[in-house]
C-alpha cells in the first residue's frame, strides 16, 4: 500500500488511532468466539506497520485502502463533469443470520459486474462498493443485507434511474431500495463508496405509524459472524470497477471517449 501524506487525507476522515481502537475491540470480540474466529483475532493482532495483514476484516488496512482509493480516484472524478451517487438494495442479496459464510463474495462481485456489462449505460464508468448490514424488524431478525453504493458517470436523469432499477430489481423488504443524488462535490463520495463501519439496522413501527429505522452497533455474535466472513477476503474485495483498470499503482480510464452527459 502506498504511503499517504497528510495533505491527501480528506477533512473529517477517521484517524489511525480510531481505526486501531475499532480493530482492538474486534480482536477482543473475536477472542470470545470459535477456533476460526480466534485465529482471525491473532492475524489482526499481528498486523503491523511494514507488515500489514491486508485482511478484509482489519480496520487499519481498510483505512489505508480507502485513503489510497481516494488518491487514485480523485483525478478520474475530476476528468468527468457529471457524476451521480446511487445506493441500491437489490433482490437476492439477503441472507439469513448464520448463513453469511455461504456467500461467495468473488462470485457475487463477478455477477454484479456482468450486470453492468449488459445494462443500457454500459459505456459509463461505474465505481461500486458492496456494503453489509444486519437488518431486524420489531426485534426479529430479517438477515444480512448486502447492498451497493455507487458513483455513476453522468447526470442524474430519469433515464439513468430507470437503467439502474432495470439492472437491479429491488429487495422487497427494503423500505427505500433506491436513492439517487447529483454530486455537487466530488471528494466525500469517494470515501462513501467503501465503508469500514458496519451497522445493525433496526426497523420498528409504533402506534400504526410509518416504520422507522435506527442504526445501531452490531451485537457481538453478529460482529463475529461478519468478521469471519470478511476475513476470508483481502481488503478491497468489496470494490467493483467498470470502465477503469489498474496500471501499476494507478487507476486509469480504459477507453478514451467523450464524457457522458
- Residue 209: the pLDDT is 77
Measured distance CA(60)–CA(156) in Å, rounded: 34
Distance of alpha carbon 249 from alpha carbon 65, whole angstroms? 12
What is the per-residue pLDDT for 185? 65
What are the cell numbers at 218? Answer: 452490531
CA 237, CA 201: separation in Å to the nearest integer?
23
HSE-CB for 223 with a 13 A CA cutoff: 22
24-29 average pLDDT score: 98
Record the pTM.
Answer: 0.91
pLDDT at 3: 38
pLDDT tens digit sequence for 127-144: 999 999 999 998 899 999
Q: CA 150, CA 137: separation in Å to the nearest integer?
A: 26
Answer for the pair 126, 151: CB distance below 8 angstroms, yes or no: yes
Enumerate the β-bridge partners of residue 245: 252
Domain ranges for the chain, please list them.
Answer: 72-253
What average pLDDT does the segment 96-118 reach? 95
Question: Is pLDDT of 73 > 60?
Answer: yes
Share the mean pLDDT of the chain: 91
Write out the E strands in 100-226: 126-137, 140-153, 178-182, 199-204, 212-217
CA atoms in the 13 A half-sphere facing the CB of 85? 14
Amino acid at each position: 500500500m502506498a504511503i499517504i501524506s497528510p495533505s491527501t487525507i480528506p477533512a473529517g476522515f477517521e484517524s489511525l488511532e480510531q481505526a486501531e481502537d475499532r480493530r482492538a475491540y474486534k480482536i477482543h470480540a473475536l477472542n470470545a468466539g470459535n477456533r476460526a474466529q480466534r485465529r482471525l483475532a491473532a492475524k489482526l493482532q499481528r498486523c503491523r506497520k511494514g507488515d500489514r495483514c491486508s485482511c478484509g476484516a482489519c480496520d487499519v488496512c481498510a483505512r489505508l485502502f480507502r485513503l489510497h482509493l481516494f488518491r487514485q480516484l480523485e483525478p478520474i472524478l475530476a476528468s468527468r463533469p457529471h457524476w451521480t451517487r446511487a445506493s441500491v438494495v437489490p433482490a437476492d442479496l439477503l441472507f439469513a443470520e448464520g448463513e453469511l459464510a455461504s456467500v461467495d463474495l468473488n462470485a457475487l462481485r463477478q455477477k454484479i459486474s456482468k450486470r453492468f456489462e449488459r445494462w443500457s449505460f454500459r459505456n459509463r464508468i461505474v465505481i461500486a462498493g458492496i456494503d453489509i448490514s444486519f437488518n431486524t424488524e420489531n426485534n426479529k431478525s430479517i438477515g444480512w443485507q448486502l447492498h451497493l453504493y455507487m458513483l455513476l458517470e453522468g447526470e442524474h436523469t430519469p433515464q439513468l434511474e430507470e437503467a439502474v432499477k432495470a439492472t437491479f430489481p429491488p429487495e422487497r423488504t427494503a423500505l427505500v431500495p433506491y436513492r439517487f443524488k447529483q454530486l455537487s462535490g466530488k471528494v466525500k463520495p469517494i470515501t462513501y463508496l467503501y465503508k469500514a463501519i458496519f451497522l445493525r439496522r433496526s426497523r420498528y413501527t409504533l402506534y400504526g405509524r410509518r416504520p422507522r429505522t435506527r442504526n445501531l452497533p452490531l451485537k457481538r455474535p453478529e460482529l463475529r459472524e461478519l468478521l469471519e466472513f470478511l476475513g476470508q477476503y483481502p481488503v478491497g474485495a468489496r470494490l467493483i470497477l467498470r470502465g477503469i483498470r489498474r496500471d501499476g499503482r494507478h487507476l486509469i480510464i480504459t477507453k478514451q471517449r467523450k464524457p457522458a452527459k
